[in-house]
Structure 1
Amino acid sequence: MTRIEVQCDWLMYYDSVPAGSPSSTVISVLSVILMLLLMGTSFLIVPLRKRRKTQVTGESTNKVTAYSGGGVRIKCKYEEGYETNVKYFCKGKLRPCADQIKTGVKHTWVHEGRFSLYDNTSAKVFWVLMRNLTVEDTGTYQCGVDKYLQIDTYTVVEVKVKADLNYGRSNESGYIGGTVNVSCKYPEYHRSDPKFLCKIVDTDVCTYNTSVKESEKWINEEHTSLYDDRTNQILTVTIRDVTEQDSGTYWCGAESDWESDHGYMVYMTQIYLRVIAVQSSVYPVHLPPTPAPTVLPRAFLVYSFIGVGLLLVTVGVITAVYCKIRRQGSATVRQTNEDYVNFSTFFSGP
């Protein structure tokens, strides 16, 4: 109301000034400048208000611990009534911070670079996935709810990425119908957290059905079993009756206070599983059955040995007789030759 009265007084004074006078010209110029200032202020007042004032939700800052080369899935809760608002995840301590991803899409994973966002309006929560982490990703982030012409609400998230080479990548292989065993080492920080093995689907989103929440106890889910050895900090996963559909990229991970409003999932070890067919199944070769060995009776073996012995004796006797006859024949020939010589001498005389 005051603004209108001032404008009315200004117009009454302007009407009292004679047209074409110097005062009239000055007043006209001042009026134009005043209107431009008012218009500029009206355009700046809302952005300045949104940048300088934000409302923080939650009692404390969320703290997330992740590892280089891995990934992390952060939970961002928001209040009822803002299901249709645009959600964003930005890096920086103060607003405006650098948006890493921002979307108004609901119930669908939206991807932008190494970041993904899923807004679940039914649970009034949106999840942010960070992949291929490096130490440089350490810093302060904000889960934000965009409120048009109002004060945004956000939750501060402190992300710390550790450089640890113990949780890298591995390759595994198995045959169709066989069994594959996978072992994943995890840090002391997640010793008491539930563990899981998830498979990458839908462009870098990792899904799983169950997790192991107790130490030294097998948990079975369809053809997969999980075992958490918290003493040695090793997660063992057994996949039975593997098929070609089981081939793909998996992650060993842990749920850190996931049931709370500030929980997160950390992905530590990447595993690539390759399931191959048995070579003989391509071109099967049918070989004739091998005959069973013939077992001879014991009596037959005895008689065989006796027969062989008699045969050897007979051959020996025949050989001895033959040799004796041959020697006697040689002696007779010599005697006959001597008699022939004597007889010739007798007839020929001295």
Structure 2
Amino acid sequence: MTFRKSNCGCDIFSIFLVRFLFLQSKAKMGILQNLLFTICIALRCMTSAEGVIHVTGYVGSEVNISCSYGQGYESYEKYLCKNKCLINNDVLITTSKSRENKYRIHDDKTARIFTTTITGLLSEDAGKYWCGVTRTGTDIYTEVMLKLVQDSCCDTVTKIESYEGYSESVSCPYESQYQNNLKYICRGNRPSACLQEALITSDTKQNGRFRLDDDKVLFTVNGTFTVNMSSLTHNDSGSYLCGVQRNSDLDVFSAVELKVKEWCCVKSIKIKGTVGQPLTLQCPYPPQHLDKGKFLCKGEHRTNCKDITSQSRFKLEGNGSSSSFSVVITKLEEADAGTYWCGSDSERRPGNYTKIQLSVVFLQHTSTLPSTVETLGKMSTQSNPIKNAGHYVVYTVPPLLLLLMCVFAVIVYKCKHQKAKEDEVVMNKNAQNEDALVEVTDAAKNNIYGNQEVVMCKEETSIQQR
């Protein structure tokens, strides 16, 4: 028969034994009281582990409860129960059935430790638990106190701002008692998953763009480990947690908020220039940089920005004010189009850059009508494709010349139309004469002996009209 834990810590058998001895001799009351106290203490030491196991978990996550047992109990059944653990309904899971709802149990018989995992933790899961080992009589048990906290951190957040392409160091403080503990950093603000998703730990020290240095200073209250991030990008912005691992409780964390700015977009200017013409670029700078060196470089990004002030066509000039300096390009070329950066900071920090986007166009010319006609004529007679078509310019015709051309076209049209009418009249008259000639000829055939002089007169008249 198996007895679960009783409220006083002594099993029923011990109570019956003490009661029997009490009835045997009332005279020895003081001795029996001492014997009762001794038996209860001895039995309690046999059935309860030393101390209380404190476990802390995060709401929504999972927690492991590990309990040890003595040698010789490897083959015995183990279980986890809650509340007073007096009835079977209090038993949550046993090693005879390793999975039950949200609970899992595993018995490491070599280490003589069985571990129960509780998943999907809720606030009501906090409280008192018991690790039990089934045996004849009273089971062996260990008390467990489970505490749950929210899976978020922290009340105080250190804010850091930097720029793309730069390196930044994050300082993470910790207490001196944790000098030899594992340190790490992760993204986000969920402590429960931080160690599993760590970007770097003190065991590795270097992982790609991340490096961890632990400054262990003896005989001090607090220590600091530093995480250096190089070649920052805009995607590196966000929340980070610095963690220090603790074996008996939750890890210790400090929160950091990193903001990476797009350094190329602090100030931006757009300028258009003409090939072959001079161009002046204006570069503003703060008054405190009046005596600092100025620079101008070309490139789409700061990392590939090449200084071009050594070229003879580019000349830096001061305009006598404390707010900007000038860069004069004596003769602009087509290849000069692109992105430029100028500033007055010798360290070339992003906040002091000015971005200039330069576009280049070709000079357009106007011409007279003959030049236009000749150019278009040559283009229409060429059978081969035009080379460098981008350099050809379509010439425009002045409005006055266009008006004269229209008047000339109207006069020519009227003259041609009048001449066509006169030709039509002459043709009609000729047709009438031909008809008359045909009639005379027919009459001559019908009357051979007629007056021939009339016929000859008609013919002569017709010939003269023609």
Larger radius of gyration: 2
* TM-score of the two chains, using structure 2 as the length reference: 0.31
